[in-house]
């Protein structure tokens, strides 16, 4: 354990300037050893530097408990998702020093954070990883419907955006995520993921699979139940909730792939993507367009602080919903009614 801790410290110190989020995560773990555990999933190389891919477990729930994973940084330039997750972790760790109720809750739900899944892309300020591969186009999933040229995933050249990579081998970052999901999410009695992105639209959106098809997923009743729970609990919530395919379609979506793997193992695994509407930041501050980061990240300090506060309630809601999943997941005839309602809401042509 000591050798692993030393290695983590060396890896993070090398990335301090280019990927300070890794150092922040390591220091959180170092200063809160009773509340969290940092695991090294893999390392990747960029410009002769070795960078870590971390997963942090918060609390002490065992593998028999339901699991929630918060994922960020899959697209390296979309750093705001990483920052939101770290803000949530900072709040939880502060509360765990005094909040007995939270300690009890985190004995009943596995809470994992993987805030910097593409550290080489973060180092390079790139959507893709160091090999030029878009990790959200990298999975061996072919869309059953027409996808937009390039945007839907391409294998023409790594010099073009949305490059899918080798069709026969996942990128190390994608493989690390899949291995983590199999080890910690598929083994849980119920699991959810929230993958945080930015750079699309004027509204904050929640998407669920598929990106490769306009057909409903097998667990559409469960997704609708979660949507209903959110709407009833927070009727004025800020999110547009819909299938990703209603927005655009792609090949190679990692969550499509992992959902299908979980389905084959007869697991109830519900991945969601949070797409922050960065166009609203640009509308309020057009000068953001003068720098690449401005397309994906709020530049003004007060707006950044607002975004970091904005989603904490939803993250907490997800934690509690996963912990108490038995109280809202549909059973028996409810599943048929919820599936019919989902089809009416999301799959009936307007």
d(CA 19, CA 1): 24
d(CA 329, CA 268): 10
Comparing 14-23, 59-68, 256-265, 268-277, which segment has the lowest mean pLDDT?
14-23
Q: What is the mean pLDDT of residues 228-238?
A: 97
How high is the pLDDT of residue 70?
A: 98
d(CA 212, CA 250): 6
Find how far residue 14's CA is from the centre of its chain: 25
How high is the pLDDT of residue 6?
A: 57
Per residue in 128-187, pLDDT (tens digit) is 999 999 999 999 999 999 999 999 999 999 999 999 999 999 999 999 999 999 999 999
How high is the pLDDT of residue 278?
A: 64
**Residue 49 per-residue DSSP state:** E
Helix (DSSP H) and strand (DSSP E) numbers for the chain: 12, 8
Q: Where are the domains of the chain?
A: 2-346
How high is the pLDDT of residue 1?
A: 43
Q: Give the strands of the sheet with 204-208, arranged side by side.
A: 36-46, 49-58, 110-114, 67-72, 191-198, 269-276, 204-208, 239-243
**Closest by alpha carbon to 62, among 111, 102, 27?**
111
Residue holding tokens 């910097």?
Answer: 116
Taking CA atoms, 259 is separated from 16, 85, 276, 281, 287, in Å, by 34, 22, 22, 32, 39
Task: List 44's β-bridge partners, or say none.
Answer: 51
d(CA 234, CA 250): 31
Residue holding tokens 């942090």?
Answer: 56
Comparing 5-14, 45-54, 196-205, 285-294, which segment has the lowest mean pLDDT?
5-14
Pick 2-346's CATH classification: 3.60.20.30, 3.40.50.300, 3.40.630.10, 2.130.10.10.
3.40.630.10
Per-residue pLDDT band for 277 (boundaries 50, 70, 90) equals confident
Our CA dihedral for 67, 226, 196, 262, rounded to 10 degrees, sits at: 50
Per residue in 279-330, pLDDT (tens digit) is 676 677 777 666 666 666 777 777 778 878 889 999 999 999 999 999 999 9
Run of H or E residues at 191 = strand 191-198
d(CA 270, CA 188): 12
Backbone φ and ψ for 144, nearest 5 degrees, come out as -90, 0
Cβ-contact 37, 56 below 8 angstroms: yes
Q: What is the mean pLDDT of residues 236-265?
A: 96
56: Cβ contacts below 8 Å, ≥ 6 apart: 25, 28, 29, 36, 37, 38, 39, 89, 112, 113, 114, 115
**Closest by alpha carbon to 238, among 303, 288, 313?**
313
Q: Around Cβ 284, how many Cβ atoms within 10 Å? A: 11
Q: What is the mean pLDDT of residues 265-290?
A: 81
Run of H or E residues at 242 = strand 239-243
The string over 98-129, giving b where at least 16 C-beta atoms fall within 10 Å of a residue's C-beta and e elsewhere, is eeeebbebbeebbbbbbbbbbbbbbbbebbbb
Residue 7, judged by CB atoms within 10 A of its CB (0-12, 13-18, 19+), counts as middle
Predicted confidence (pLDDT) at residue 341 exceeds the cutoff of 90 = yes
The mean pLDDT of the chain is: 92
Question: What percentage of the chain reaches a pLDDT higher than 70?
Answer: 91
The answer to whether the predicted template modeling score (pTM) of the entire model surpasses 0.85 is yes
């Amino acid at each position: 354990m000591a050798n692993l801790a030393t290695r983590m410290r060396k890896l993070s110190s090398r990335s301090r300037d280019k990927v300070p989020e890794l150092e922040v995560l390591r220091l959180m773990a170092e200063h809160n050893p009773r509340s969290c555990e940092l695991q090294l999933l893999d390392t990747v190389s960029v410009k002769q530097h070795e960078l870590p891919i971390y997963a942090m477990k918060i609390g002490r729930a065992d593998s028999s408990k339901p699991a929630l994973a918060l994922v960020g940084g899959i697209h390296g330039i979309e750093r705001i998702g990483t920052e939101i997750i770290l803000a949530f972790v900072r709040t939880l760790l502060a509360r765990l020093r005094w909040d007995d109720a939270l300690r009890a809750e985190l004995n009943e739900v596995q809470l994992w954070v993987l805030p910097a899944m593409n550290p080489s892309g973060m180092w390079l300020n790139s959507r893709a990883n160091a090999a030029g591969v878009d990790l959200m186009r990298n999975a061996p999933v072919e869309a059953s419907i027409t996808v937009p040229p390039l945007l839907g995933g391409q294998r023409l050249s790594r010099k073009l955006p949305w490059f899918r990579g080798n069709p026969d081998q996942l990128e190390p970052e994608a493989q690390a995520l899949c291995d983590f999901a199999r080890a910690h999410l598929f083994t849980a009695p119920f699991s959810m993921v929230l993958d945080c992105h930015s750079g699309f639209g004027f509204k904050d959106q929640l998407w669920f699979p598929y990106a490769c098809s306009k057909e409903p997923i097998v667990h559409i009743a469960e997704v609708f139940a979660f949507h209903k729970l959110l709407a009833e609990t927070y009727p004025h919530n800020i999110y547009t909730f819909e299938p990703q395919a209603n927005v655009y379609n792609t090949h190679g979506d990692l969550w499509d792939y992992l959902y299908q793997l979980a389905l084959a193992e007869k697991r109830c695994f519900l991945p969601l993507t949070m797409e922050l509407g960065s166009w609203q930041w640009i509308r309020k501050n057009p000068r953001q367009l003068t720098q690449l980061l401005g397309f994906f990240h709020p530049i003004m300090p007060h707006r950044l602080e607002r975004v970091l506060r904005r989603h904490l309630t939803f993250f907490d809601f997800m934690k509690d919903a996963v912990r108490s999943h038995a109280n809202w997941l549909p059973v028996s005839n409810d599943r048929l009614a919820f599936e019919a309602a989902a089809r009416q809401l999301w799959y009936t042509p307007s």
